[in-house]
Amino acid sequence: MASDQRPTYTTIYETVRGVGNLLAPEDFTYLTEIPQDAPPSQLVIHLSCMAHYTPHIPILAEKILRKLDLDCVIVGGPENCCGELHKHFNEHDLERQLAKSAMMGFRRAKPRKVLSICPDCDDVFRSHGSERQPYEHTNISNLFIEYLPALKPMMRPLNMRVVPHYHTISEYRQADADNMLAILRAIPGLQILEAHHALGPGVHCQTLHPMPAADQERMFSEARELGADALVVPYHSCYRQHCKMQLKHGVPVHHMFNLLAMSLEIPFTESFKEMRLLDDVDLAVKALKPRIERHGYDESVVRAQIARAIFC
C-alpha cells in the first residue's frame, strides 16, 4: 500500500511518464510493448526509466546506429523497468518479476543484442539473465567500440578540450570508462585532459547516492583550471547531477554521445539541460507550459514532478 513516508512506485513512474513526455521531442517514439508479431530487429535500445528525463541520449544512440545502417528499436517506459527501483525498496520478488517480464518482452524483437544506456539496468538484467537467453545484453558503449572502425571515417574534427568523468566500482563500470575513453580518443581534434578529481562514486552519480558536493566542486574547479571546454560523462545519471555546475564554473557537461554526435554532424537539442540551467522550477514550468497544456496535465502535479526530476 502507498505510504506517506517515501515516494511510491506510482509517484516515481508517473514522474517518468509525465516529465519524459514534456522533455521529449514531439516526434520521439518508443515502444512500451513489442508486439507479438513484431518484425525482427537486430538491436534493441533499452530506454531506462530515468533516461526519459534526458531523451536526447537515447535519440542520439538511435541516430548513431542508423548512421551505421543498423536497424534498432527503442523499448522504454516504466513498462520495461529493469527492477532497480524495486530492488532499492527491498521488494526483491517484484524486482525479479520486473526484470524477467522486460527480458521476455525483448525477445519478441528477436534481437542480436539488447543495449543498456543505464548501468543499473546493466547490472540488474545481468543478475537475472540466463544461459538460455537468446540475445546478448550489453552496455551500448560496447557496441560503439565494436563499430568504431566504421564510425571513424565519418567523424569530423572537434576542437575541444575535455575532462572525462568516470566510475570504476566494478569491472563493468571500468569497461564503460575504458570504452568512453576509446570513443573520445577516436574523435579527431579532441584533446583529453588529465584530471585527478573526476572519478565518481559507486555505480554512477544519481539522486539517491550522488557524488558528494565537495568532490563535485573539486572536479569542476579542476576542469575549469585545466581550461576544459566540457566535462564528459558516461551515464545519463551523471549528466543529471552535474549539468547545473555549468552555472557556477562555466564548464558544460556533455554525455559522451553528444561528442560523438557533434563529430558525426548529428544535430541535437538538450531539453533537460535547457531546463536545468534555468535554475528555477517556476521558469521551467513556464517554459514547458504550452506542452503541459497540450498534454492536459495538472500544472501543480507537473510542477512537483519537474522539481523531483530536474531540480533534485
Partner 1 sequence: MNDMADKWIKVGPVAQFDNGTHKILVGRRFVVMTKLKGRLFAFDAFCPHVQGPMDRAEIEGAIVSCPLHAWRFDLENEGKELHGYRGIAVHDVRINDGDVFLALSS
Hey, what's the cell of 295? 498534454
Based on CB atoms, which residue is closest to partner 1, 8 or 191?
Answer: 8
- Interatomic CA distance for residues 312 and 310, integer angstroms: 6
215 binding partner 1? (CB under 8 A): no
What are the angstrom distances between the C-alpha of 131 and each of 13, 128, 202, 204? 31, 10, 28, 27
| Footprint on residues 76-115 left by partner 1 (CB under 8 A) | 77-79, 81, 86, 91, 94, 97-98, 101
Question: How near is the Cβ of 15 to partner 1 at its closest, in Å?
Answer: 10
Work out whether 304 is an interface residue with partner 1 (CB under 8 A).
no
Considering only residues 10, 127, 174, 207, which one is a binding residue for partner 1 as defined by CB under 8 A? Answer: 10
User: Which three three-digit cell numbers place residue 48?
Assistant: 531506462
Grid coordinates in use for 32? 512500451
Does residue 8 interact with partner 1 by CB under 8 A?
yes
Angle between the 171-186 and 256-263 helix axes, to the nearest 10 degrees? 20
Which run of H or of E encompasses 143? Answer: helix 140-146
Determine the 3-state secondary structure of 43 from DSSP: strand
Question: Which residue's CB is nearer to partner 1, number 45 or number 99?
Answer: 99
For residue 97, the minimal CB distance to partner 1 (Å) is 6
Residue 17, interface with partner 1 (CB under 8 A)? yes
Torsion of CA 270, 302, 276, 217, to 10 degrees: -130
Angle formed by the axes of helices 56-67 and 256-263, to 10°?
A: 40
Nearest distance from residue 29's CB to partner 1, in Å?
15
The answer to whether residues 267 and 258 touch, using CB atoms and an 8 Å cutoff, is no
Residues in 172-201 at the binding interface with partner 1, rule: CB under 8 A:
none
| Phi then psi dihedrals of residue 250, to 5 deg | 70, 10
Whichever of 2 and 38 has its CB closer to partner 1, that residue is 2
Please identify, using beta-carbon distances, which residue of 109 and 190 lies nearer to partner 1: 109
Quick one: cell of 132? Answer: 538460455
Nearest 5°: phi and psi at 132?
A: -85, 0
Select the span of 8-16, 116-124, 154-162, 258-266 touching partner 1 (CB under 8 A).
8-16
CA atoms within 13 A on the CB side of 290: 2
CB of 78 to partner 1, least distance (A): 5
CB of 96: closest distance to partner 1 in angstroms? 11
Q: Find the shortest distance in angstroms from Cβ 33 to partner 1.
A: 8
Q: Which amino acid is located at 165 in the chain?
A: H
The residue count for binding partner 1 (CB under 8 A) is 19
For partner 1, the closer of residues 61 and 81 by Cβ is: 81
Least Å from the CB of residue 127 to partner 1: 18
* Cβ contact 249:224 at 8 Å: yes
Pick the stretch among 6-14, 113-121, 135-143, 264-272 that binds partner 1 (CB under 8 A).
6-14
Q: Are 237 and 272 in contact (CB under 8 A)?
A: no
- Please report how close the Cβ of residue 85 comes to partner 1 at its closest, in angstroms: 10
Give residues in contact with partner 1 (CB under 8 A).
1-2, 8-10, 12-14, 17, 77-79, 81, 86, 91, 94, 97-98, 101
